[in-house]
Chain A
């Protein structure tokens, strides 16, 4: 059985559990599924915005591409286009800059749950040293957290409004 098949079973079992000792991802990962059950190379995941951040109360969907060489090569994770604002995310494409997803920092003992969790943590702790969104990175670098959060909040409210109309 290939590793990704094995992982699929594990993910289903983990996320189905309500017990926090078996499912440490409660309140973090809403879902993590292959888009088509017969093709385990394309997945989608939905995470909850972390508490005490402007992302709280929103959900974010991402697309995961699992290469043939997985787990030797890292999975590719993208947010939906124009769905999030963050200094390590390129909003227009949804591209994410996260060290553990780069080939030089990736290790094969991590699985998809780890990766999605790491992206969730990135929402909580932006890394302004390697910004994909330079403007947002600069705001944090100036130390103006309130402005940063305000802009994110405004962006998300707008997003919600556009979704409804």
Chain B
């Protein structure tokens, strides 16, 4: 007689068995689902092989249950819970419960979902934070380098892999997990964390603050050079053009010197002048 390894019962109560897709170990449907409410991953309780699907039923009536989706939602909810309990340790339990209700309502309305970003590959959907190594600077999509390369091979453009599949941007940077510990990494709360300069960072940490300051200073200094170049431009520029070109060139120079202001290494004035002229060429402003 078949026995469920979790509750030690057979099928006398009409309990339905399900079998994990990969290792084919069988459990009561209810038992294994209950376990996934407690477990930290989707590994088989017996052999620790990971399965994303559970097969229920036999032959043509078999149904494959997607375990991953529900698990992801659980993860996100837990994260939200952890946030509220962190917020006030001394709070009464009742109050916390109330807060949880509000939170789950928010969750249903999609408010928290927006704030919580799951760290997963935009191509294969895997959430193995350790191997995820590229992210798109423009839309924050995250990828495995291998997935991007594989995809490029499949469409026959082997060398054109360095492109975000979401927004077509070529600004793919190395992703590092920074100060975030590994168990937090599967998802992060965009109210507290962000990806900045290739690193998942705590927004409130001193280090991030210092980096902010440094970057603000660099941006400001570079912009001064660009403004000067624009002011020295022989023709009067419309307000919009001035603003756009300023923004564009500053960003370009900023990336060019790797997010830093290095006046000893680069001649920002001449760089800015060349870039401004190049930028204005298509606008037919140039006839010097």
- Using a CB–CB cutoff of 8 Å, the interface residues on chain A facing chain B are 1, 3, 6-7, 10, 69, 71-73, 103-104, 107-109
Contacts and interface: CB of A to CB of B under 8 A. Distances in A.
Interface of B: 5-9, 31, 34-35, 37-40, 45-46, 48
Contacts of A7: 8
A109 B5 contact: yes
A1 B9 CA distance: 9
Secondary structure dominating the interface of A: loop
A3 to B, nearest CB: 5
Shortest 5 CB-CB contacts between residues of A and residues of B: A107-B45, A109-B5, A72-B38, A108-B6, A109-B45
B45 A6 contact: no
A72 B9 contact: no
Given A104-B40, A107-B45, A109-B46, A72 B34 contact: yes
Contact of A107 (B8, B9, B46): B46
Contact of A3 (B7, B38, B40): B7
A106 to B, nearest CB: 8
A95 to B, nearest CB: 22
Given A107-B45, A108-B45, A6 B38 contact: no
A103 B8 contact: no
Contact of B38 (A1, A73, A109): A73
A71 B7 CA distance: 8
Contacts of A103: 38, 40
Contact of B37 (A1, A3, A72, A109): A72
Contacts of A69: 38
A1 B37 CA distance: 22
A6 B9 contact: yes
Nearest to B183: A104
B14 to A, nearest CB: 16
Contacts of B37: 72
Contacts of A108: 5-6, 31, 35, 38, 45
Residue among A1, A104, A109 with the highest chain B CB neighbour number at 10 A? A109
Contacts of A10: 8
Nearest to B37: A72
Contact of A72 (B35, B40, B46): B35
A98 to B, nearest CB: 17
Given A107-B45, A107-B46, A6 B8 contact: yes
21 contacts: A1-B9, A3-B6, A3-B8, A6-B9, A69-B38, A71-B6, A72-B37, A103-B38, A103-B40, A104-B40, A107-B35, A107-B39, A107-B45, A107-B46, A107-B48, A108-B6, A108-B35, A108-B38, A108-B45, A109-B5, A109-B46
Contacts of B35: 72, 107-108
A72 B5 CA distance: 12
Contacts of B48: 107
Residue among A7, A72, A103 with the highest chain B CB neighbour number at 10 A? A72
Nearest to A5: B8
Nearest to A9: B8
A103 B31 CA distance: 17
A7 B37 CA distance: 23
Contacts of A3: 6-8
A32 to B, nearest CB: 16
Contacts of A109: 5-6, 45-46
A103 B45 CA distance: 13
A70 to B, nearest CB: 11
Contacts of A6: 7-9
Residue among B6, B38, B40 with the highest chain A CB neighbour number at 10 A? B38
Given A107-B39, A108-B6, 12 more contacts: A6-B9, A10-B8, A72-B34, A72-B38, A103-B40, A104-B40, A107-B45, A107-B46, A107-B48, A109-B5, A109-B6, A109-B46
Nearest to B45: A107
A72 B39 CA distance: 8
